[in-house]
Amino acid sequence: MIDGKRILREVKLLRFLKHKNISHIIDLMRPAPIPGQSRIQFDDVYIVLDRMDTDLNRVIYSDQLLSDLHIQFLMFQLLSAVHYCETANVIHRDLKPSNILVNAKCELRVCDFGLARGMQASSDELTTYVVTRWYRAPELILACYNYSSAIDMWSVGCIFAELLSRKPIFAGEDFLHQLKLICEVIGSPSHEDLAFMNEGSANRYLRDMEFMPRKEWRDVPGLKDAPEKALDLLNSMLTFSPRKRISALNALKHPYLATYHKQPIKSAPVQFDIEAIERMNLTRKQLREAIMEEIRFFRGDCYDEQRQQSAASASSTPAKKTRGKEESASSTGSKYTRHKEESASSVTSAKYSRPKEESASSVTSAPSDTTALIES
């Protein structure tokens, strides 16, 4: 039930989020039904996403050259996606390099929204056990349940530092070690910074910890030669207090990304009520029905029982008596098999095509003097 609800939430969310830097669902299908079986009797769902070459984690730890222009363009796209999610009332909660897809043109898309939640969720609906440890914000380590999209901005800051240094900035072995590594770099938090904390073992550990002065960013391994403007932006992202952490919109306006200041910044037209799925209290049957509705959005009625029965009866009739019907079926069934015959780029159906603002002419391109991100 938990996995099923997570799948339903992610599918609905990916259909709602229409941004060129967020993965899109191209097709959604279930295993072929067994004749006579109910259309909701299935255990697997196949989600087809737009094709990308690799993920950012593999690029960072490859021998591929990452110039400052590459990093600027990647950060502009990542922050654009996070800002769009903020305006849609969505917290990703698991941003990390392996959840960021890229291609050879340096185009980026955020994926894996399985842990996403709404920003207005109650503390009972939120959990601190999210985000891979190395990218986990201090408020999550300190078990603060009333967190915001600032946790995504901390993760973006960790990814930014990793792009600059080609190594993780806070590679903690457990949550206390993670907290220690953070304080070694950004310094021990002030009493004002600790105002958001809840009482707990990590909090007591933090109060008992020996005072640590803030380290200069150029003294952090791998950041010695980083541009000054990049370090200034990094400094505003990796702040202990979420109240002082820069927002995605303000980060997009930072001088480090001046090259893209004339580019339009897209906001979500309406907010997505992601918690409505949690409030449904669906039974197992209702959950399967809800997922089937999502499949029907992409596949029409191709899994309906009546169509299955017609297909079964047709297959049992001699071919010479049903040739006309077969020809008719092949001509009318094309909309259900189009994804096999056409590439994603050639599909013109409204429900498969990308939004108009994502046409080739409107997508922001990488600077012309950068090399391909992934060498052939």
- Residue 52 neighbours by CB under 8 Å, 6+ apart: 101, 102, 103, 107, 109
DSSP state of 62: S
**Three-class SS state of 100:** strand
- Residue 330 neighbours by CB under 8 Å, 6+ apart: none
**Three-class SS state of 294:** helix
User: Which residues does residue 369 pair with via DSSP β-bridges, in sequence order?
Assistant: none
Between CA 317 and CA 278 the distance in angstroms is: 47
For residue 116, the tally of other CB atoms under 10 A from its CB is 23
- Phi-psi region at 228: left, alpha or beta (left = phi > 0; alpha = psi -120 to 50): alpha
The type of residue at 146 is N
**Three-class SS state of 208:** helix
- Residue 92 neighbours by CB under 8 Å, 6+ apart: 82, 85, 99, 110, 113, 115, 116, 152, 155
User: Which DSSP string corresponds to 223-252?
Assistant: -TTS-HHHHHHHHHHS-SSTTTSPPHHHHH
User: Which amino acids are annotated catalytic?
Assistant: 94
- Cα 322 to chain centroid distance, Å, stands at 48
Return phi, psi of residue 55, to 5°: -115, 165
> What's the start-to-end Cα distance of the chain, in Å?
43
- Phi-psi region at 17: left, alpha or beta (left = phi > 0; alpha = psi -120 to 50): beta
